[in-house]
């Protein structure tokens, strides 16, 4: 299994631009999570899906952030418009059940200048 | 809601010495507990987990952790540190209440001195 695949690995964009991060979970995993990691705030849960349905988006910082999961093998996290304070590493993780823990992707390092 | 506290943002040990990384949790219901390791520029990798049953759990790379309900702790240990253990370690808790997703501690960066 190739694990959780995220793209791109690095993204540098100018303030105000739209940014789309992508994630392919492990086949058979029914839960998908988006986390953001910064030095100041550590790992923050942004949103998670069960069976492609958003369950809890209370961690999404603002309306500029949106996430979709159109099918079991793909999810996107979009920021529009982007701001410098959005600079962080964004991780996607998937799980086959809470007792199994999560499998994380390698992350997308976003820099907004 | 559940929470996790990791004592010590940085821990430094000598190669061959005991590694002890501390984690205390708060949960109103029996929790599941996890330790993850993150190497530079990589995602988090599961080291070990406690769900039910035996309170001493063994993980990869020689690490183990003991669930102590009375102390609400889940400390991570390794008898003899290796240079390759240098990384950041995260404790996480999940419970059947609240957000029903893993809540992570702030992490402990382990340095191993030669």
Instruction: Please write the tens of the pLDDT for every residue from B77-89.
Output: 999 999 999 999 9
| Chain A neighbors of B49, CB-CB under 8 A | 99-101
* Angle made by CA atoms B65, B94, A1, in degrees to the nearest 5: 80
B98 pLDDT above the threshold of 70:
no
Cβ–Cβ under 8 Å, residues A23 and A74: yes
Query: How would residue A100 be classed by pLDDT, with cut points 50, 70 and 90?
Result: confident
Residues β-bridged to residue B52: none
Query: How would residue B20 be classed by pLDDT, with cut points 50, 70 and 90?
Result: very high
| Chain B neighbors of A55, CB-CB under 8 A | 100
B96 pLDDT above the threshold of 90:
no
Cβ–Cβ under 8 Å, residues B93 and B25: yes
pLDDT digits (tens, 9 = 90+) for A24-81: 999 999 999 999 999 999 999 999 999 999 999 999 988 999 999 999 999 999 999 9
- What's the confidence (pLDDT) of residue A97? 81
Asked if B43 and A91 come within 8 Å (Cβ–Cβ), the reply is yes
Give the closest of B43, B100, B103 to A106, CB-based: B43
pLDDT digits (tens, 9 = 90+) for B22-31: 999 988 788 8
Dist. CA B47–CA B99, nearest whole Å? 23
pLDDT digits (tens, 9 = 90+) for B34-69: 999 999 888 999 999 999 888 899 999 999 999 999
A48 touches B: beta carbon within 8 Å: yes
| Chain A neighbors of B105, CB-CB under 8 A | 42
């Amino acid at each position: 299994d190739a694990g959780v695949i995220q793209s791109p690995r690095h993204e540098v964009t100018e303030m105000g631009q739209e940014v789309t991060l992508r994630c392919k979970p492990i086949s058979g995993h029914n839960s998908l999570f988006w986390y953001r990691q910064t030095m100041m705030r550590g790992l923050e849960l942004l949103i998670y899906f069960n069976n492609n349905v958003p369950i809890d988006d209370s961690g999404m910082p603002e309306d500029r952030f949106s996430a979709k999961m159109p099918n079991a093998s793909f999810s996107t996290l979009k920021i529009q418009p982007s701001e410098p304070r959005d600079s962080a590493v964004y991780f996607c993780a998937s799980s086959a059940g809470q007792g199994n823990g999560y499998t994380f992707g390698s992350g997308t390092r976003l820099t907004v200048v | 809601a559940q929470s996790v506290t990791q004592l010590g943002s940085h821990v430094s040990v000598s190669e061959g010495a005991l590694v002890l990384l501390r984690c205390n949790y708060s949960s109103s219901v029996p929790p599941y507990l996890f330790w993850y390791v993150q190497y530079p520029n990589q995602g988090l990798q599961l080291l070990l987990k406690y769900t039910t049953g035996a309170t001493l759990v063994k993980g990869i790379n020689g690490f183990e952790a003991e669930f102590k309900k009375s102390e609400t702790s889940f400390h991570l240990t390794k008898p003899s540190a290796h240079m390759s253990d240098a990384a950041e370690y995260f404790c996480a808790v999940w419970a059947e209440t609240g957000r029903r997703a893993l809540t992570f501690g702030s992490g402990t960066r382990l340095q191993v001195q030669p």
